[in-house]
Amino acid sequence: MTQLLAGKVVFITGAARGQGRNHAIRLAQEGADVIAVDVCASVSEDVGYAAATEADLEETARLVRAEGREIVTAVADVRDLEALRAAVASGVDKFGRLDVVIANAGIATWNRFWEMPEEQWSTLVDINLNGVWRTMAAAVPSMIEAGNGGSIVIVSSAAGVAEAPGCAHYSAAKHGLVGLARTAATELGSFDIRVNSIHPGAVETEMGNDPNVGKVLTTHPEYMNSYKWPLTSVPRTTVEDISNAVVYLATDLSRAVTGTKIVIDMGQTMA
């Protein structure tokens, strides 16, 4: 069977587990070699779920190699532009090119906006919004230099197209990614680089099982109206559901698609 990304190279952030790991495996199955980074550490005391580890990133590497592809890994924080540039340079040195970027790294924390400390707000925005800008800033020069066009997939959220009571900072950052994606799509169009955003709803991952979600919604049950969906046969999406959209946007299946949003939320945000 023809592989959709044969000979291509993909850069993925937040690749140690969850969505990022699954994206790496799926894109490797389509023939891509992978540059994978993750912070592999706790980044905020406000995060209610366990952090990924270096062992998790090593397992991602093992699983990619099990698909017959190569991978370069680096422990890097998306708040560190130079670390991201170094990771990209290391991968390009090995593989000779860069074709696809999956800007996936992010965190979630919960609090009402006027009650959260400034550090809680700014840390999340720096990772979830500024970190995507840094990811793209680190990767795009190599894509342009290679001259092969390519695709950038920004992982936003259902909270990037609708309200998200209890995590306004998360929603603000994820809405910001839409503006970044649309503007980057315009600026990179002449280089044949497409930029799109995906918007998962509830996903079966460590973040998706954050116990702080239940605490906030129990304390403020009126917020639940923003977190319901009509597709009741799907209690939440899987990482595979999200990777299906990533494969579509990363490959020539979507060669005429740029500057758009794909929402994968069981209908949560439909109006």
Out of 49, 170, 227, 248, pick the active-site residue: 170
| Span between the terminal Cα atoms of the chain, in Å | 40
Beta-carbon contacts of residue 133 (< 8 Å; ≥ 6 apart): 180
The verdict on whether 170 is a catalytic residue reads yes
CA gap 67, 54 in Å, rounded: 20
Q: How far is CA 212 from CA 89, 114, 164, 177, 204, in A?
A: 38, 17, 14, 24, 15
Catalytic residue numbers, as ranges? 170
